Structure 1
Amino acid sequence: MEHEFHVEGMTCGHCERAVTNAVHEVDASAQVQIDRAQKKVVVQSAAEREALRHAIAEEGYQVAA
C-alpha cells in the first residue's frame, strides 16, 4: 500500500536517512521515496499508516497526511 506524507523540517541528506531509518524500524522491507523540495515522503508498505506517521514524527519532524 502507498502512503504519502507531507513532512516539514527535512533539510539535508541526514534528514532523509533519519526518516528512511524510522520507516524501516516499522517495516524493514518498506520502500521510501523522499522529495525534500516538495516536503513529500512516499512509502510503499503494508504497515499501518499511523505507525509510519508516528515513527517519522518521533524523529522530530512535523508530519501531515
Structure 2
Amino acid sequence: MKTEFIVSDMTCNHCVQTITRAVKAIAPTAHVDADLASHRVTIEPAENPAALAAAIVDAGYDVQTA
C-alpha cells in the first residue's frame, strides 16, 4: 500500500530530511520519496496513513492527502 501527501511548506533538503526522519520514527522500513518540486511525499508501504500524516504534522508541516 502506497500513500501520497502534499506538503506545501516543504521547501528545502532540510525539510525533506526532517519529514523522512519523522516517518521513519514510526515506520522504520518504509521507503520515503519526497519531491521538492511537486511538494509530494510518497510513502511505501504505508500501513497507517493517519499516523504518518500526524508524524509529519508533529514535525511542523502542513499535510494534505494527495
- Common topology (TM > 0.5): yes
- Superposition deviation, residue 46 in structure 1: 4.1
The normalised TM-score by structure 1 is 0.94
Runs of at least 5 residues in structure 2 that lack an aligned partner in the other structure: none
3-state SS, counterpart of residue 60 of structure 2: coil
Structure 1: 4+ residue segments shifted above 6 A = none
Aligned identity (percent) is 38
Amino acid of the residue matched to residue 31 of structure 1? Answer: H
TM, length-normalised to structure 2 = 0.92
Aligned length: 65
Unmatched 5+ residue regions in structure 1? none
Structure whose residues are more often strand by fraction: 1
Q: Determine the structure 2 residue equivalent to 1:62.
A: 62
SS of residue matched to 1:62: coil
Q: Compute the RMSD of aligned alpha carbons.
A: 0.9
1:11-37 residue CA offsets vs partner (Å, 9 max, x unmatched): 111100000000001110000011111
